[in-house]
Structure 1
């Protein structure tokens, strides 16, 4: 048996490679906890007295492959039954152990397999025993064991019982009252994930309470990111303040900021974007500026146009491209105003200068009118004009054409002869 916390995590987010095939591109553990709770015929709360291997193995299909797992068994001393009935207070539970990935594993896996750890308290979601069997099985191999702490509030809940609650809310209440007893980052995040999976947006108040009490920047970053995912507008200001804190020497802080900045994309309200996201374009961290520019591009805020123009001079090319595309999409212009990344890389300065020239000639004045309320939004810039484009097509006697507001494409026709077609930009 690995160390006390060993299997709870298997356990870093990574890419599982079996035979060179990616089995895991993005895996969100416990996303079906609410469904597993609803499916469970029996839900018990208890302390694990022992756990050991049975010497047996089984196979399960996971990530498109048949994987071989060890089979383990544990004894659970039941403290409370939240749903269903059990035969004895000491209950046997059978569950999966570590999968056998063989020698073809390219990196560590993230399975979040459930582990019943001796001495710890768990909520366990079970199927009823089959006839003749002396053990219960988990409803879901990956989403059926919920670790809880042992605070006084948990003890009171266990003594009261679940009569006044449905099982899901009872389990969520046990989780919410466990947090003061959870010391490690992995335990806390696992429990917070479980709470959000069960309660969704109703977990916001609990998340904020844990955020106020936590001193761990990793936990703060995780909670702020989750609050953004839950579209809690009142948390945007706090997330932005966290991103602007000047403490870049600590890797844990940097990693937490990366997590928070990733979920800025969940901010959709334009007034919120203008108030809190626009200033992040001046953040010293490139990854924060990049995420902010992505939000501005998505939001299409006319009042953010001056900031997008300024972002065209950012030192990070990702930021420059998002600002350029944000300008193009805000004003509903594509083509030579909003190229793809490949074209931008080939001739970046041409596209950037086009927008800067527009800003100097008419954009600044239009922006002032927008602030004064004289116009509601920016008009679309005029179509870009281009120099004569050389085209070599001797079979047609065509050597040069003038693009102007149109472009000429020369290629093979269905009859294998060259043809020219005019396409609008």
Structure 2
């Protein structure tokens, strides 16, 4: 099936993937690996705290919004074809969960794909309901989630609870072998997967918001879309970002607010800003936009590649740079982030010059279609769809 793809969605998805590495690079470049995540809260000096603020939680939230956009487009496609919903989408979610499980065990402790797979199953049964039902679910889950974050933050502030570091051996990732790290992920799944307690309810809210933003016309090059995007920019960049900057420097007791409560507001502002700029930009895209677009079209491959590259560069079974350059933090972490981004932006661009999908996207698409009989092609095909927005990526 031939589809039209809105370029701004690829740019946004590319920015989200690049931004998630901006968060994860602090894990890779810490000699303690994931064990150093909680211990670094509120530490690292002014420069490192500010650099962490730029990415912490914001691109996770942006990626969640874009998953919701993708689900809306898949739902529209199913309705247009007269297919049952959620129908095959549940198989799509199952494949995403399996891919995330492999990614977690073999590469990275803080995989988000498993959580997104769970959220997508929940949201699949809501996305087609009327606006009143969707609004009630969105407000209800958001209210409960905010209340829980608020109560936990109060508990931290008044000493009723404390942040704790991972139980993983502190030198495992600096000196341990690859099989030892895999075994640690399997044995520590309960600890490493704890973030799903926050990702799942937050994901439900952001998936539904992303779906409804499509319906509200946020990607339309129209007066209605422009007004909506300006409102998102004011809310996210004018209100959310300054408050988030305060919590970033407020210490570890504000960690939950700093990562899960305010970044989604900033992500909405980023979505509005990037969409506005992308819609106003005409002509042949430059190298940066072209690279981000290529990353967006191969998002699954780039997400896995960047984490594999970070592990190979920094961990003991690879080049071990986290230990060698420990004294150069935070600046060498920025250099590692920029280098990895440049590599996978270049590789994604070169790959798409010869192939339609990324390598993992190709495997994923084959696995998705394999259980179902191949439909017979009609005598003549129309190459124009009647939707303004379509998306056939596995991220949706």
Q: For this structure pair, what is the TM-score category when the shorter chain's length is used for normalisation?
A: under 0.3
Structure number with higher relative contact order (C-alpha < 8 Å, ≥ 6 residues apart) = 2
Higher strand share: 1
- TM-score, normalising length from structure 2? 0.23
* Larger gyration radius, structure 1 or structure 2: 1
Higher helix share: 2
